[in-house]
Structure 1
Amino acid sequence: MSFKIFSLQLTGKIKPVSTIENRRKELANDYAEFQQTEASEELKAFLELDSWINSDEFKKKKKEIESLKFAGSLEENQLKEFQRLKKSARIRKYFKLANSSDLSKFENEKESQKMADFYALSEYVKEGQFEKEKKEIQSQVFKGSVEEKHWLDFRRLDKSAAFRAYNELEGSEKLKKHKALEQTDKFKKYNRLKNVSEQDKESKKEFVLLKRDAEIKAYFRFEKSKKLKLYHETVGSHDLTKYNELKEYISTDAFKKQEAFLKDKKKFEKSEACQKQQEYKKLAADSLVKFILKFEKSAAYKNYLDVKDSFDLKRYFELEKIIDSDEFKQQKVWLEDKKRWEKTEEFKKEQQHKQEQAKPEFVKYFKYQKSNDFDFLKNWEVVFEDDFTGKELDSTRWSTSSAAAEKLLGENYALPGDLNIFTNGKNLLTGKGLSISVKKEKSTGKVWQMPAGFVPTEFEYTSGLITTGSKFVMEDGILEAKLTFNPVKQVASSFYLAGDETAPRLNLLEMGAKNNVGISTLNGKGKIENSGLDILNLKKGSYIVSLEKSGASFTWKINETEIWQQNNSELNKPLQLNASSLVIEELSGSQIPVNFQIEWVKCYRKK
């Protein structure tokens, strides 16, 4: 029984695991916050501000501001310049007109449609276009015009004998009847008989009768008339074409309209030119037009235009804007204020520096900056971990067969005297940590017996083991595991580091018939011997047990309190992580099942 463990617990040096975990969590959170703060733009800005506040430049700036005054300042000069411009006669007259209703009326109406019409008509009347159009209109008369010539040509043709005959016969019944007779049998017979011989007296007699026929006599009278002759001369003649063209032309609305226009003695009074002249006279007499023209020529408006784009007015507005600004007013006030420093941006920065310096995250940052509290987190990194929260054991990290079993048989086997067989993961439960469960149940396995070799045997108990095997080996570093210390003397539950052989090995913790931390080796008789620290006095419960390996030197801790140191050169090599529960004595029914609880495992190495 170890008095050391009893003493450490009694004096409170082995702190509760919850205290350790809460402190670790708090420290991890603080470290994360520290790193976040260290990488933040806020800290960067604060450090820049801190550097500036403590710089000679800031101190000089503060001294300069405190020594400033309004008399002789830029602001005083700007105020005096503005007051001088404000009193200027030209500028006063400018503002008098600028704010007047007359200017507003002028600005609103100067480009109105009425003024646009007036200016356009004024230019039209005064620049000669009106007179030109007036003369042109008045010079247009019917006599001597092209229209008169065409009209006379038509009248001459229309009154001629030929066209009187043409107009009388063209389309007349008389002409139609005359032509129709030519197609009759009587007329054709007449033409045939007039050439018969004198000996054909019957035909001649018939011809004489036809010659005396009234229709035929009338036909030849009309055929020999002057009127029909004139008609035939006219049909198809050039004059007929011209006559028809002239007749059509003088019958058009355009000709009649132009004829009426040329004959109208009041054509000018009806013209657009005359209407424009009358509109111009009307607009020239309009009160608004008179106002615009008069205002445009006024001395006040001339001064307004001269000042409007002048440098003095631009400077006036520039100074007015400056002087009316809150910035100028505040500047004047603080220049006249003996406490002006407190109203500067620099003072605000100074206060900001004080406020930010007191921020919890910065206070915490600077507190840890000069401490070694984060040394472990800074200098060590996790290279292997498992919290066993999965539904099944992570096969990428663990095997459920020992290294020796994998090499010899490919499955777990027992040694002579073992009361249980290790199943291939059946006795392992994950989800809320790992539980290696010893159960009382019949199971068949193999036992190594000399010289027979592996012999099938029936076992009363089953258990389980885990090993990292070749998946992970620990070299120099720290192994930590949160374990439940609840020894049952009939079961040897252990978490240990070993090579391919079971001994020598480093026991992170062993409990059951023996409760210790330390090293297990084989003596000369092939029996396992333990050397280390007895922890039987350790109270039942959860503990964080750690083992630091540094070459051949090993240090054990429980809840971060060092409890044991030991050296062994044989174990200065890469080692596998192993955990198992072995039944060494018969168990009563009330003790079953026996569970070896491992909440999590972590391995660290130095960065």
Structure 2
Amino acid sequence: MSFKIFSLQLAGKIKPTATIEKKRAELLADYAEFQKTEKSEELKAFLELEEWVNSDAFKKTKSEVESLSFKGSKEENELKEYQRLKKSGAIKKYFAVEGSSDLKRFEKERDSDKMKSYYELFDYVKEGQFEKDKKEIQSQVFKGSVEEKHWLEYRKLEKSAGIKAWKELNSSDAVKKHEALEKTEKFKKYQQLKNAPGHSKEEKAEFNKLKGDAEIKAYFKFEQSKKLKLYRETAGSHDLKRYDELAAYVAGDEFKKREAFLKDKKKFEKSEAFKKYAEFKRLAGDDTVKFVLKYEKSSLYKNYLDVKDSFDLKRYHELEEIINSEEFKKQKAWLEDKKRWEKTDEYKKYQDYLKEKQKPEFVKYFKYQKSSDFDFLKNWEVVFEDNFSSTKLDETKWDVCTAAAGKLLGENYALPGDLNIFTQGKNVSTGKQLRIQVKKEKAEGKVWKMPAGFVPTEFDYTSGLISSDKAFELKDGILEAKIKFDPVKPVISSMYLASSETSNRVNLVEIGARNNLGFSVVSGNGKVESVGIDISNLKKGDYIFSLEKQGPKFTWKINEHEILTQDNSELNKPMHLMASSLVIDEISGSQLPANFDIEWVKCYAKK
């Protein structure tokens, strides 16, 4: 017996099969879930979220948000600037005036017709035009004026002898009578006789008579008068023309009006300039005008004008709008909030990340992501398996006759010394497991004997076997089966790898007369020997026996714990699976029927 098996069990190295199977089932389920998760859009989204969480951008944002403070911020500076401007004396005075009743009255009256008149008159009086007009008016007198000169010229002409003669004789009866006589026959006759070269007596008498005529005498007297001479000299003269012009001028309304104005001692008091001045004085005493002028010069109003379009007031209003805005209040509260980070979208997103990270499928995914737990499932694949759940043996996988027997006889045969005959599946049953049952019963069969060949023989025991010879051969890979370890000493129950090219075989496990893992080798004298490790100390129960073949290297495990490693180059070849129960000694009735139970079998090959 092997002390190794005993010590391994004692040390708990060979774990319970149920634990192994549970772990495997869980691992397989986890792997399926892992693969599903790995391909899911949810994981893709989570990984993108995780990449963002681990990014410099996220860290920078978090750092920036956590380092924020109202103190020293742009918002604090704006608030301080606003408060400073609000306390400014100039701005306080500005708001004291803005919207006041006095300002409203001032702005209403400032552009009124009354104030327009006042300002016009003020300019007229104060800028010197009034004094100029006053002096101009007061300097206008008749004496020395143009009008007086014209008047004196007129009077001088009027007193002249020629103008007097003209005025006296022009259109007078004397001139008319004088001129009328010249047209008479009498006067014409007188002139004719006077100018004739010689006179007859009669003509001379007539001439003398006419010469003594009173009208003719009066005519020549008037003709030779100084007055008529002056009259005739004046008629058509420049003086007469000038006299007529001046006479018309001095007789005109304009001259008379101008003369009266120049001679008027109160002409200034009657002037437009005086009226304007009087109106200016009146308006200067008006309450409204006095109010406007006083308010306009007041320090409050001057400050109002200085501040009204100033940068400070503009800035004050800008800051007031900023300070009172919801955005500023929100930002100020944000900067003063010690838990501002927890209120960011990034934090919420980060919390979503943490929440997502705790999802069972993600926890499980990341648990296995970098572990080696799935290495076997990733690197190996099942190439042959049977859980024997069907009530009928799967004939596509198994044959109930050995390959040699099938070729030679078409049925199983026995070797010399065998106490049983292998039936054609009668002793093999399936359902929840594969059971090969040894029964004590008479049965006919054949034994191979040299040199006779196949000899009909009666056997006291029947048993069964299965073979994958026609369906599957394992090259390199793993053979694994869950087998009940319950030895019946007169029986050798085994599952093994066999080849038609050699009698030697690789035992996954042998149970019964020999309890071992290793090789079964036919010696030179034809005796079968076991080369491996004895497992007789193994406690009864179900175990998972594993055999891994890598070229000539073979490794055995019980419940995943390595028990034995051996090399055998002769058996480095493809081999099929077999399971059988062979009776080598008489079996007591209490041990019958003897069962060899295999719950499942699997073969793996590397992907």
TM-score normalised by length of structure 2: 0.55
| Residue 588 (structure 2) aligns with | 588
Q: 1:589 to 1:53 in 2, by over 3 A?
A: closer
For 1:329 and 1:54, locate their aligned partners in 2 and report how far apart those are by CA, in whole Å.
Answer: 34
Higher mean displacement: 30-39 or 55-64: 55-64
Aligned equivalent of 1:478:
478
**Pair 60,561 (structure 1): closer, same or farther in 2 beyond 3 Å:** closer
State the distance in 2 between where 1:458 and 1:72 align.
113
Shift of 1:450: 2.2
Return the alpha-carbon distance in structure 2 between the equivalents of residues 564 and 64 of structure 1. 62
Tell me the residue number matched to 2:375: 375
Indicate the larger mover: 462-471 or 29-38: 29-38
The residue aligned with 1:361 is: 361
Matching residue's letter, 2:364: K
Q: Which residue of 1 aligns with 2:10?
A: 10
Question: What does residue 291 of structure 1 align with?
Answer: none
Q: 1:337 maps to which residue?
A: 334
Deviation at 1:330, TM superposition (A): 8.9
Give the secondary-structure state (helix, strand or coil) at the position aligned to 2:472: coil
**Shift of the alpha carbon at 1:58?**
3.4
Pair 588,62 (structure 1): closer, same or farther in 2 beyond 3 Å: closer
Partner Cα distance (2:558, 2:588) in 1: 31
Corresponding residue for residue 26 of structure 2? 26
> Given the superposition, is the C-alpha separation of residues 445 and 350 from structure 1 closer, same or farther in structure 2, using an over 3 Å criterion?
same
User: 2:391 maps to what in 1?
Assistant: 391
Amino acid at match of 2:330: V
Structure 1 counterpart of 2:483, one-letter code: L
Identity %: 67
Write out aligned runs for 1:151-300 (5 A): none
Structure 2 CA distance for aligned equivalents of residues 10 and 63 of structure 1: 57
Partner secondary structure for residue 503 of structure 1:
strand
1:545 maps to 2:542: no
Equivalent position of 1:529 in the other structure: 529
Q: Partner letter of residue 333 of structure 1?
A: K
1:72-107 CA-to-partner distances (Å, cap 9, x unmatched) read 99xxxxxxxxxxxxxxxxxxxxxxxxxxxxxxxxxx
What is the alpha-carbon distance in structure 1 between the residues aligned to residue 31 and residue 399 of structure 2?
35
SS for the counterpart of 1:392 is: coil
Q: Which has the larger radius of gyration?
A: 2
- Amino acid in the other structure paired with 2:10: L
- Pairing 1:81-96 to 2, within 5 Å after superposition: none
| 1:580 CA drift (Å) | 0.3
Q: Secondary structure at the residue paired with 2:400?
A: coil
**CA shift at 1:512, angstroms?**
1.5
Contact 1:69 1:336 in 2 (8 A): no
Q: Which residue matches 2:556?
A: 556
Preserved contact between residue 414 and residue 448 of structure 1 (Cα < 8 Å): yes
**Cα distance change on mapping 1:404 and 1:332 into 2, 3 Å:** farther
Give deviations 1:407-449, integer Å, cap 9, x for gaps.
2111111112221111111111100110000111111111112
What CA distance in whole angstroms lies between the structure 2 residues aligned with 1:331 and 1:455?
109
1:350 is the counterpart of 2:347: no
Counterpart position of 2:225: none
Change (3 A) 1:72 1:61: farther
Letter in 2 for 1:55: S
- Equivalent residue, structure 1, for 2:417: 417
C-alpha deviation, 1:494, in angstroms: 0.9
| Cα separation, partners in 2 of 1:62 and 1:4, compared to 1, 3 Å | closer
The 1:346/1:526 distance shift into structure 2, 3 A limit, reads same
* Counterpart code for 1:365: Y
**TM-fit CA distance, 1:520:** 1.1
How does the TM-score come out when normalised to structure 1? 0.55
1:56 corresponds to which letter in structure 2?
A: D
By how many angstroms is 1:470 displaced?
Answer: 2.6
Distance change (3 Å), C-alpha of 1:69 and 1:25:
farther
Query: Residues 493-534 of structure 1, C-alpha deviation per residue, up to 9 Å, x if partnerless?
Result: 111101015621001111221111111112112221211111
Query: What SS class does the counterpart of residue 48 from structure 1 fall into?
Result: helix
Deviations 1:111-150 (A, max 9, x none): xxxxxxxxxxxxxxxxxxxxxxxxxxxxxxxxxxxxxxxx
| Contact 1:498/1:506, CA 8 A, preserved across alignment | yes
3-state SS, counterpart of residue 413 of structure 1: coil
The RMSD of aligned alpha carbons is 2.4
Which residue in 2 is equivalent to 1:605?
605
Aligned residue in 1 for 2:446: 446
1:511 is matched with which residue?
511
Q: Distance in 2 between matches of 1:474 and 1:443?
A: 34
Counterpart residue identity of residue 600, structure 1: W
Do structure 1's residue 467 and structure 2's residue 464 form an aligned pair? no
How much does 1:358 deviate? 3.3
Cα distance per residue 1:432-482 (max 9 Å; x no partner): 110000111111111112222212222111110000003100011111010
* Structure 1 match to 2:567: 567
Secondary structure of 2:32's match?
Answer: helix
The ranges of structure 1 where at least 4 consecutive aligned residues each deviate by more than 6 angstroms after the TM superposition are 67-73, 328-332
Amino acid at match of 1:360: P
**Which letter does structure 1 place at the counterpart of 2:31?**
Y
State the 1:341 CA deviation: 4.4
Instruction: Give how far 1:50 is off.
Output: 1.6
User: Residues 399 and 470 of structure 2 are in contact (CA less than 8 Å); yes or no, is this contact kept in structure 1?
Assistant: no
Taking structure 1 as reference, are residues 535 and 69 closer, same or farther at Cα in structure 2, changes over 3 Å only? same
In structure 1, give the amino acid aligned to 2:363. V
Tell me the distance in 2 between the aligned counterparts of 1:63 and 1:526: 83
Summarize the Cα distance change of 1:335–1:34 in structure 2 as closer, same or farther, 3 Å threshold: farther
Distance 1:429 1:69, change over 3 A: farther
- Cα distance in 1 for partners of 2:359, 2:429 equals 47
How far is 1:550 from its partner?
0.7
Q: Is the contact between residue 334 and residue 343 of structure 1 (CA under 8 Å) also seen in structure 2?
A: no
> Bigger CA drift: 377-386 or 52-61?
52-61
Q: Distance in 1 between matches of 2:59 and 2:511?
A: 69
What does residue range 479-494 of structure 1 map to in structure 2 within 5 Å? 479-494=479-494
Cα offset for 1:7? 1.0
How many angstroms apart in 2 are the aligned matches of 1:543 and 1:498? 22
Tell me how far apart the structure 1 counterparts of residues 371 and 74 of structure 2 sit (CA, whole Å).
48
Question: For structure 1, which segment, 365-374 or 425-434, has the greater mean C-alpha deviation from structure 2 after superposition?
Answer: 365-374
Task: Give the Cα separation in 2 of the matches to 1:429 and 1:365.
Answer: 41
| Aligned counterparts of 1:32 and 1:331: Cα–Cα separation in 2 | 54
Consecutive unaligned residues of structure 1, counting only runs of 5 or more, are: 74-327
Check the 8 A contact 1:69/1:335 in 2, yes or no. Answer: no
| Residue segments in structure 2 that go unaligned for 5+ positions in a row | 79-324
Once residues 409 and 579 of structure 1 are traced to their aligned partners in structure 2, the CA distance between those partners, rounded to angstroms, is 20
Q: 1:13 to 1:64 in 2, by over 3 A?
A: closer
2-side partners of 1:558 and 1:24: how far apart?
A: 14
What is the aligned partner in structure 2 of residue 49 from structure 1?
A: 49
Q: Displacement of 1:586 after TM fit?
A: 1.5
Secondary structure in structure 2 of the residue aligned to 1:363: helix
Alpha-carbon deviation of 1:579?
0.4
